[in-house]
Amino acid sequence: MKLIIVAIFVLSIISVSGCTREIQSTGGLRVLTETKEDITPPSFTEVPNVTNVEADKLSFETVSKGFSSWHEERAAYLITNSSDWESLIRSTKIAIPDFPKINFGEEMVIPKIDFKEEMVIAVFQGTFGSGHGIEITRIVEKENLLEIFVRENNESNVMPVETRPYHVIKTAKSWKKVIFPEGNFEIVKSGYSAPIRILRVGETKTFMIQTKDYEVTITKASGMPLKAEFTLNGEVFELEKGQAYEAHGGLRVKVHNMTEEFVEFELLP
């Protein structure tokens, strides 16, 4: 009788505790023992908190950024084709990382941009002393606009050194209108139409400007200061570095650089 009561008591404890039961035999006496269930909560793999890029913020990559260029004025450009891109590089002489410095008169290497998928935005701060700088910080995409945000450093001159800060970036191609919402730049000019020409002294070439042909010969480059003698469609004139001349017919010639062997100049209608 006592054995029955003990067995009932043990069974009631087991049923209340929700534990599993095992039957063991000890010297012919069947005894119920308990095995506690594993109540350790299941483990979960922790998912890292990944912050996504803002849906309306476009990524971009710096092509070139620095303080020295041949671009004297404050301006911004939207470049969407390889021809304008080559003109920009040749005319401004901006530094391109991973591309060797090009000696004057040598063929310039132009970094390739996939203009089917990408476009270039370039900002030039202007001509200052030291202590200035410019940087494109973000591009925000709106329904019909691309907003370009720019940060500028305009500290007073630290050293009497002339600088022309600039920042050139590439981003995904878009046909939306490009603006600077902070008002620090005018609406972006589309393209860059100031191709630089290089002629060897004694060489003659014909250039087509707005459907009209112009034959240019560099007769000589000599003197102190160095002057280049041009013959343009039979008209003869001399220019020093940095000087410009308006020839007959309205074509403007401006010399950017020269040696006794090469002359680098710009033809503008």
Domain check: are 135 and 201 in the same one? no
Higher pLDDT, 5 or 23: 5
* Structure-block tokens of residue 262: 């090469």
pLDDT at 11: 52
- The tally of domains found in the chain comes to 3
Distance CA 173, CA 146 (A): 11
Domain check: are 167 and 92 in the same one? yes
Residue type, 220: K
Domain check: are 63 and 184 in the same one? yes
Cβ atoms within 10 Å, residue 185: 19
pLDDT at 7: 53
Domain check: are 175 and 202 in the same one? no
Residue type, 234: G
Pick from 40-44, 133-137, 138-142, 193-197: least confident: 40-44
pLDDT at 240: 93
Domain check: are 153 and 99 in the same one? yes
pTM for this structure? 0.53
Helix (H, G, I), strand (E, B) or coil at 74: coil
Cβ atoms within 10 Å, residue 69: 21
- Residue range of the domain that includes 183: 57-190
Q: CB–CB of 60/39 below 8 Å? A: no
| Alpha-carbon separation of residue 135 from 64, 122, 123, 201 (angstroms) | 11, 10, 8, 39
Distance CA 233, CA 214 (A): 6
Distance CA 149, CA 79 (A): 17
Domain check: are 183 and 207 in the same one? no
